[in-house]
Amino acid sequence: MSSISKKYGERVENFSNKAARELLSLIERKKTNLSLALDVTTKREFLEIADKVGPYICLLKTHIDILVDFDQDLIDQLKELRAKHDFLIFEDRKFADIGNTVKYQYSKGIYKIVEWADITNAHPLPGDGIVSGLKEVGLSLGRGLLLLAEMSSKGSLATGAYTEAAIEMARRHKDFVIGFIAGRKLICNDDEDFIVMSPGVGLDASKDGLGQQYKTPRSVIFENGSDIIIVGRGIYGKDKDVATEAQRYRDAGWNAYLERLTN
């Protein structure tokens, strides 16, 4: 049976990677395929929103380098929220350099991403070395990697042969590459499984002023067969009650998945 008609929990056995197994189990147990893209720039806002939205998400997606007052205490508190609300952490670092460099960017510097992020991502652009470099530091800690096979922004060059090459790269590193950033299910074979996460999801807007393009949760999960919706400003935009909006996206994402299972 293709993963498209399987329950999240039934797919755990398709993965050897610890982060992938934990994520699929968590989605099944918590009944949410919503990931929050928490793009705010102060520690106070970051922790406040994470605490309010935590109950409704499977994955908290960070851009740790946009925080103006980043410190180790932020990471300690983020880990506490991770345990309190039962979610995993995805640092959307979009690595894009040679293997030797990304290895250090992943594990050293100020952020030491590999120490706290269950999942991170990379552009396949530099070739297989980028995956090998990240794998050297991440795999033994049980981390997982997503490849950016497509992007949600207008005019993205990640299409066609590039997307196909990203799929082939993932196949060569199945122990560490757990899936893709893409707008749709990319592989529908019965015998291989990758987790697809889709950004560019919104219920109220179709675009922002800077090239972002939005689809609805139903279009992404039910029509396109993706697994996780990534939502940012749709949840914490101006005048929004973040917990109410998070529940709205959680319900929309989960109902679209249930609709897919029964069709």
Residue ranges at the known binding site for substrate: 39, 61, 152, 212, 232-233
Interaction of residue 231 with ligand BMP, rule CB under 6 A: yes
Nearer to ligand BMP, 199 or 253 (CB): 199
Question: How many CB atoms sit inside 10 A of residue 187's CB?
Answer: 18
Interaction of residue 228 with ligand BMP, rule CB under 6 A: no
Asked about 118 being catalytic, the answer comes back as: no
Of 2, 13, 53, 56, nearest to 31 (Cα)? 56
| Piece in contact with ligand BMP (CB under 6 A), picked from 6-14, 76-84, 130-138, 150-158 | 150-158
Interaction of residue 234 with ligand BMP, rule CB under 6 A: yes
Which residue in the list 97, 112, 240, 251 is annotated as catalytic? 97
Asked about 92 being catalytic, the answer comes back as: yes
Interaction of residue 35 with ligand BMP, rule CB under 6 A: no
Look at the block and give the residue holding tokens 């697994």: 227
| Piece in contact with ligand BMP (CB under 6 A), picked from 12-20, 43-51, 127-135, 225-233 | 225-233
Interaction of residue 99 with ligand BMP, rule CB under 6 A: no
Look at the block and give the residue holding tokens 């918590």: 30
Interaction of residue 200 with ligand BMP, rule CB under 6 A: yes
Residue nearest to ligand BMP (CB): 232
Q: Is the dihedral of CA 220, 258, 247, 63 positive or negative?
A: negative
Contact with ligand BMP (CB under 6 A) among 24, 37, 64, 195: 37
Question: How many CB atoms sit inside 10 A of residue 218's CB?
Answer: 18
Nearer to ligand BMP, 163 or 212 (CB): 212
How far apart, in whole angstroms, are the C-alpha atoms of residue 183 and residue 232? Answer: 16
Which residue in the list 7, 94, 112, 240 is annotated as catalytic? 94
Which DSSP string do the residues of 124-168 spell out, in sequence order?
STT-THHHHHHHHHHGGGT-EEEEE---SSTT-S--HHHHHHHHH
* Per-residue tokens: 101: 């460099």
Residues marked as catalytic: 92, 94, 97
